[in-house]
Amino acid sequence: MIKNYTCPKCDGQLRFGDHVFLTAYNMEGQGSIILLHAELGNYTVDFHPNIEFNKGEKVNFLCPICHKDLSSDKHEDLAMVCMTDSAGEKYDIYFSQVTGEHSTIKMYGEHVELIGPHSDRYMDYFSMSLLQ
């Protein structure tokens, strides 16, 4: 099932092939284009080898098109992008900005799907009924 990912600020297309392209800055202010795998729950990432993202470090994600901050209003450690599936359903996708933390929250209205072993850390920040 093909999913499109867009910026919640400018509606710009973020997906190319199997990746979601974002701009990322580490705590030292070093930046890189970062490629996140488009499959929810697949936490493989790729970025320039001259930049370091240390485990436990918070990363700041920006849209590579409009350069707006993608930080979520739900929690300071989460970023958010929009996803539309092949049936046209739209979801808010929240994901951790903490390096090494595998946490994704897929939200549709009040329905929430927790993905990844660390996603339960954020469930108190979402009023929800869990999708099965």
Distance CA 132, CA 12 (A): 30
16 strand-pairing partners: 19
Task: Write b or e for each residue in 21-46: b if 16 or more Cβ atoms lie within 10 A of its Cβ, otherwise e.
Answer: bbbbbbeeeeebebbbebebeebebe
Note the pTM of the prediction, 2 decimals: 0.92
Sorted by where each begins, the domain ranges of the chain are 4-130
In tens, the pLDDT along 55-110 reads 999 999 999 999 999 999 999 999 999 999 999 999 999 999 999 999 999 999 88
